Amino acid sequence: MYQCEHGGVVRLKLAVDPDLGPLAAELSSLARGAGLDAVGITGAEPFGSTRRHLEQRKAAGLHGGMHFTYGDPARSTDPDRALPGARALVVGARSYRRAAPAPPRGNGVYGQVARYSWSDHYGPLRDGLGVVARHLEANGWQARVLVDDNAMVDREAAHRAGLGWYGKNTALLLPGKGSWFVLGSVVTDAPLPPTTASAAGGCGSCARCLPACPTGALVEPGVLDARRCLAWLLQAPGTFPIDLRPALGGRIYGCDDCQEVCPPNRTEDRRHPPPPAGDEDEPWVELVRLLERTDAELLAHLGRWYIPRRQPRYLRRNALVALGNVGDGGDGRVVRALVDGLAAGDPLLRAHAVWAAARLGRGDLVAGLAASETDPEVRTELAAAGLTG
C-alpha cells in the first residue's frame, strides 16, 4: 500500500510486496503468542496439482464418497474463491499431542477416540488465526480465517508454506515435531512475502505406517484408499462395510494407528514427553451409555464430532460395531443394549445390532427378529450371520 498525493490509500497489485516483510514477521509472532506452534506464509495461487490429484482420486473412487475438499476441488484449491483478490495464505499449526491415559477401570465397555477429537482443538486454532486476521484488518487488508473448512486444502497450504512434508501415511509432518497437529489458514489480499520452505524432513526409507494400517488403506506410499480407512468410514453415511468391522476394534471416532507407529512422532515423545490429558479431554466413551442417550444428548455431548448429516444414528451404528468387537455377550448391560438395538425402529441399527449380537455369540437374541424382519438390509445381515432361522 502507499499514500497517494490526494491522501487516499492505493493498493498496488503486487504479487509480493517486500515492504510487507515486517508485517509478516509481526503476524508470525502474534500467531505464536496466540498458541500456534508453527506458522508459514505462501502465495494464494491455485493449487493446480492438488486439484488434479483430487479429481483423479475421486474419478478412481479412492475418496470413498468423502466430500470435504473432494466435494468441490475447483473451490477448495483456489484461495481466490474464499476471498476474491487473495494474495497470500498465513498457515498455522497447533499441536494436539497429549499423553494417552489408560482405559478407564470399572464395569463399562469403552470405545476409543482419536487424539485430535479428545477435545476441541479447532476452536483454539481458529482463535489463534483470528488474532492474525484482526491484525491484517487493522492494517487495512482483508482477511478470512479458514479452519476445518471445505473451502481450503489445509494440508497442501501448510506444505506449500514450508511447514512440513507429506508422510507416506498422507499426514503432514513438521520437521522435528511430527504430525499431531491441526492446520488452518488465513487467506488475505495482503501480498505478504512467502516463508522459505524447510528443506529438512522426509520419510526416507521408512515405510512403517503402511503395514501398521489395520485395513490396508494405505495402498501405496502417500496414497490412501478412503474406502478402507477406518477414520473415514466412522464418518461416512450408510452401512459400515461388514468385512472391515472386525478391524475397527473398539474405535468409536477416528484412528491413530498410522501416526502412532511413526518414528518422528515417537522421537518427539521421547525428547519432549507430551503433556498429560486434561479434564476436558475425552479419550474414551462408554459404549452402552452412548447407546442409551437421546439424540439431543448425543448432539449436545459429541456434537463437535463430524456426524454424517448430523444424524446421531451414525454414532449408534459405530457404537454397535465397537460393542460387537469389545463387549462381553454375558454382560447384562451389553445384552440390554443389543436387545434395544434389535428392537430399534431404524433398520440401520437393527442391521448392525444383528452383527454385534452374532459376533458376541448371542444369536439367541436375534430369534424373534429373524422370524419377522422384512427390511432387505437387515435380512442381508441375518443371512450373513447365518441367523435367518
| Chosen residue from 31, 192, 224, 357 binding ligand SF4 by CB under 6 A | 224
Q: How many CA atoms lie within 13 A of 351 on its CB side?
A: 22
CB of residue 175 to ligand SF4, shortest distance in Å: 12
Residue 231 interacting with ligand SF4 (CB under 6 A): yes
Residue 143 interacting with ligand SF4 (CB under 6 A): no
Cβ-based nearer residue to ligand SF4, 213 or 354: 213
| Chosen residue from 82, 89, 229, 252 binding ligand SF4 by CB under 6 A | 229
Residue 277 interacting with ligand SF4 (CB under 6 A): no
CB of residue 242 to ligand SF4, shortest distance in Å: 16
Calpha distance 264→218 (Å, rounded):
18
Following DSSP, what letter does each residue of 307-352 receive, concatenated? Answer: -GGG-THHHHHHHHHHHHHH--TT-HHHHHHHHHHHT-SSHHHHHH
Calpha distance 339→364 (Å, rounded):
11
**Closest listed residue to residue 132, CA positions, set 161, 101, 108, 104:** 161
User: Which residues 294-353 are close enough to bind ligand SF4 by CB under 6 A?
Assistant: none
Calpha distance 322→248 (Å, rounded):
7
- Please identify, among the stretches 18-26, 87-95, 254-262, 318-326, the one whose residues bind ligand SF4 according to the rule CB under 6 A: 254-262
Cβ-based nearer residue to ligand SF4, 174 or 262: 262
Cβ-based nearer residue to ligand SF4, 42 or 215: 215
Cβ-based nearer residue to ligand SF4, 96 or 141: 96
CB of residue 367 to ligand SF4, shortest distance in Å: 35
CB of residue 333 to ligand SF4, shortest distance in Å: 29
| Chosen residue from 217, 315, 351, 353 binding ligand SF4 by CB under 6 A | 217
User: Residue 299 has what DSSP assignment?
Assistant: H
| Chosen residue from 207, 219, 242, 277 binding ligand SF4 by CB under 6 A | 207
The answer to whether 39 and 92 are in contact (CB under 8 A) is yes
- Size of interface with ligand SF4, in residues (CB under 6 A): 23
Residue of 37, 148, 269, 375 marked catalytic: 148
- Please identify, among the stretches 69-77, 87-95, 205-213, 289-297, the one whose residues bind ligand SF4 according to the rule CB under 6 A: 205-213
Q: Where do runs of H (alpha helix) occur along 206-280?
A: 209-212, 230-233, 245-248, 257-260, 263-271
Binding flags for ligand SF4, 160-179, as an x/- string (CB under 6 A)? -------xxx----------
Following DSSP, what letter does each residue of 370-382 receive, concatenated? Answer: HHH---HHHHHHH
Assign 237 to helix, strand or coil.
coil
* Residues sharing a CB contact under 8 Å with residue 252, sequence separation 6 or more, in sequence order: 111, 112, 113, 234, 285, 287, 290, 315, 318, 319, 322
The sign of the torsion formed by the CA atoms of 252, 254, 259, 265 equals negative
User: Burial of 105 by CB count in 10 Å (0-12 exposed, 13-18 middle, 19+ buried)?
Assistant: exposed
Residue 215 interacting with ligand SF4 (CB under 6 A): yes
Please, which contacts does 49-56 make with residues 24 or more away whose CB atoms are closer than 8 Å? 50/77, 50/153, 50/156, 51/77, 51/78, 54/153
| Chosen residue from 230, 234, 302, 326 binding ligand SF4 by CB under 6 A | 230
Residue 257 interacting with ligand SF4 (CB under 6 A): yes
Assign 201 to helix, strand or coil.
coil
CB of residue 143 to ligand SF4, shortest distance in Å: 32
CB of residue 49 to ligand SF4, shortest distance in Å: 20
C-alpha cell at 77: 484449491
CB of residue 171 to ligand SF4, shortest distance in Å: 6
Q: Which residue, judged by CB position, is nearest to ligand SF4 in the bound state?
A: 167
* Residues sharing a CB contact under 8 Å with residue 304, sequence separation 6 or more, in sequence order: 117, 120
Establish whether 148 is a catalytic residue: yes
Task: Summarize as ranges the residues that interact with ligand SF4 (CB under 6 A).
Answer: 167-169, 203, 206-209, 213, 215, 217-218, 224, 229-231, 255, 257-258, 261-264
Catalytically active residues are 148
